[in-house]
Chains A and B, each alone.
Chain A
Amino acid sequence: DSGVTQTPKHLITATGQRVTLRCSPRSGDLSVYWYQQSLDQGLQFLIQYYNGEERAKGNILERFSAQQFPDLHSELNLSSLELGDSALYFCASSPRAGVQPQHFGDGTRLSIL
């Protein structure tokens, strides 16, 4: 158990819909990261938050947005969903923002029908 909690584990929805993925970091971790794992793109960094502030952005679509709340949990919002958004979405956390190991949650498997 990494200590990072992601909900839900599975999500099935239709094209055009909007979903919210939730992440609770390990106790004491201030930095949260979101990654997408798909068959065609592999594992890709989406976005990082540190203590409530956006820290870095990767290949995140404009239809996607995220935030980190005062209690440090984070949410990833995906809207106007397309078939290609089907993927495993991971949240990871680390104590600080510098180079150090990140511990991953079990992921949310999103299936778009």
Chain B
Amino acid sequence: AQKITQTQPGMFVQEKEAVTLDCTYDTSDPSYGLFWYKQPSSGEMIFLIYQGSYDQQNATEGRYSLNFQKARKSANLVISASQLGDSAMYFCAIAGGGNKLTFGTGTQLKVEL
């Protein structure tokens, strides 16, 4: 069984500042992947970033980086230089060998001027 915990229901950040969204996980799979998705108010699910459990380096994709701490079972998302368009719900997810995603409850991010 796999579980994702996102403890921040809502977050505020000023435009151009960096923000960290927390995610902890639990899994019995020896090999797994961690994912972050963005869901704007329009409803679509947008893939942001992926980290494999055996990857030595933290994943980065443009302004997104994943702070992966395996011993702590955490996979926090860092968004640098926040923009108004970053306002959305953010979901952390985990997949084991079968690649079925287990999602957390999400963090609602609001970027303010």
Contact = CB atoms under 8 A, between A and B. Distances in A.
Interface of A: 2, 31, 33, 35, 42-45, 48, 55-56, 58, 88, 90, 92, 94, 97-107, 109
Contacts of A97: 98-99
Interface string B66-96: 0000000000000000000000000101011
B47 interface: yes
A90 to B, nearest CB: 6
Kindly name the residue among B98, B101, B102 whose own CB sees the greatest number of chain A CB atoms within 10 A.
Answer: B101
A94 B105 contact: no
Contacts of B50: 100-101
| B interface, size bucket | 20 to 34
Kindly name the residue among B95, B97, B99 whose own CB sees the greatest number of chain A CB atoms within 10 A.
Answer: B99
Contacts of B95: 99
B64 interface: no
